[in-house]
Amino acid sequence: MLWGRRGPAMVTGAVLGALALGGCGGTGEAAEAVPAEETRTVEHAMGESEVAGTPERVVVLDTGELDAALALGVTPVGAVRTDVSEALPAYIEDAGVEAADITTVGTIAEPDLEAIAALEPDLILSNQVRHEDLYEQLAAIAPTVFAESIGESWQENLLLAGEALGRPDDARALLDEYTARAEEVGGLYGDPAATEVSVVRFLDGTLVRLYGEGSFIGSVLADVGFARPELQRTAETFVEVSPEQITSADGDLLFHAAYGADGSAAADQVTAGPLWGAIPAVQEGRAVEVSDDRWFLALGPIGADLVLDDLEELAGRL
């Protein structure tokens, strides 16, 4: 498994600075934070919400919102876990945040409304894709702000979270630094536009996902400047192929990961087979296993920065 050259619990520049502002279960002081008494109207996918000052008790209901809050220096009081793990995503430890500081409030698929209410949040962050049907119930608990989509839209979602959290300038600073660093990492590959990067994710033994341009990881690779194999040049998040079609995953570089125990079992089975071994990128040592948490679950600036760490480390080896 890959780890960026900065190692665990290390992220760069603006992200690290923002994290230093956050404390356990609340927010730190930031120059850009709005006055505590100010109430503002935040427009979002489900309408408008009135948010007071700089929220201190924040609950997040998807991994992208978790990533955005942490990057902006806010340690949520509550967060959901994925359906395949009893713990929060491991990548947050890479960002220097103790998972024990965050109360688990159900899963992404089934948030625990009673547990959320018990935390007495002053802001709930999620998105329309995951929880549109729960919006009214959540809004009855606390001001609730929903992004419209997930994945490729992570930068827009970060700006929305920055507005809701009273840290809009911090959000813009994070994106400015990310953009500059993505270009820097791309330069390590010479002409990245001449390199087709394939991204494979194993979920179970039935289908394999090849991630397209319309995904979080697809957007990061595009910002670095990489090209994509023809099958992955799609605005969709991913295309699915059977294990028998795995040779279609070839590229100049091939990155692969597994989601949960079923995904790991599927990955073991496919990568041990002759079709995987027939892929040129595999034969020539240009296929690399990466962290599913970092490349697929993070969906925000911390995850993007960790992906850049991995790409930077690999530049000297591939």
Instruction: List pLDDT tens digits, range 92-113.
Output: 777 677 777 899 999 999 999 9
pLDDT of residue 83: 86
Rounded to 10 deg, the angle between the 154-164 and 63-71 helix axes is 60
Asked if 109 and 29 sit in the same domain, the reply is: yes
* Higher-scoring residue by pLDDT: 161, 318: 161
79-88, 120-129, 186-195, 278-287: least confidently modelled range: 79-88
Query: 71: closest CA among 186, 165, 190?
Result: 165
Query: Domain total for the chain?
Result: 2
State the pLDDT at residue 26. 47
- Residues 224 and 85 both lie in one domain: no
pLDDT value, residue 10: 35
- Least confident stretch, 24-28, 255-259, 267-271: 24-28
High-pLDDT (> 70) share of the chain, %: 88
Q: What is the mean pLDDT of residues 291-314?
A: 94
pLDDT value for 203: 92
| Residue 243 to residues 210, 240, 246, 247, 282, Cα–Cα distance (Å) | 11, 10, 5, 9, 15
| Same domain, residue pair 30 and 171 | yes
For residue 62, what are the CA distances in angstroms to 68, 80, 113, 150? Answer: 10, 6, 14, 9
Using DSSP's 3-state secondary structure scheme, residue 30 falls into coil
pLDDT class of 204 with cuts at 50, 70, 90:
confident
User: Which is more confident, 165 or 23?
Assistant: 165
- Looking at the domain assignment, is residue 23 inside a domain? yes
> Averaged over 35-64, what is the pLDDT?
91
Tens of pLDDT, residue by residue over 55-91, are 999 999 999 999 999 999 999 999 999 888 888 888 7
Residue 6 domain-assigned? no
With bands split at pLDDT 50, 70 and 90, how would you rate the model's confidence at 34? low
- Going 153 to 156 to 162 to 164, the CA torsion angle's sign is negative
Q: Are residues 30 and 153 in the same domain?
A: yes
Assign residue 237 the CATH number of its domain.
3.40.50.1980
The residue ranking higher by pLDDT, 74 or 29, is 74
Per-residue pLDDT reduced to its tens digit, 206-217? 889 999 999 999
Residue 6 pLDDT exceeds 90: no
Q: Are 306 and 296 in contact (CB under 8 A)?
A: no
* Number of other CB atoms surrounding residue 55 within 10 Å: 25
87 in any annotated domain? yes
| Statement: residue 232 has pLDDT above 80 | yes
Q: What does pLDDT average to over the chain?
A: 88
> What tokens appear for 293 in the block?
């948490």
Q: Are residues 96 and 204 in the same domain?
A: no
pLDDT at 85: 85
Range of the domain at 41: 13-178
pLDDT given at position 36: 56
Euclidean distance between CA atoms 107 and 206, whole angstroms: 24
Shared domain for 17 and 69, answered yes or no, is yes
Average pLDDT over residues 194-209: 94
- Do the Cβ atoms of 203 and 264 come closer than 8 Å? no
What is the average per-residue pLDDT within 165-187? 97
For the residues of 33-100, what is the DSSP string, one character each?
PPPTT-EEEEEETTEEEEEESS-SSEEE-SHHHHHHHHHTTB--SEEEE-TT-SS--THHHHTT--GG
- The proportion of the chain whose per-residue pLDDT surpasses 90, expressed as a percent, equals 78
114 domain-assigned: yes
Lowest-confidence region among 10-14, 160-164, 214-218, 265-269 = 10-14
Domain for residue 311, yes or no? no
Q: What is the pLDDT of residue 1?
A: 33
Per-residue model confidence as pLDDT tens digits over 240-253: 999 999 999 999 99
Q: Which residue type sits at 108?
A: I
pTM for the structure as a whole: 0.86
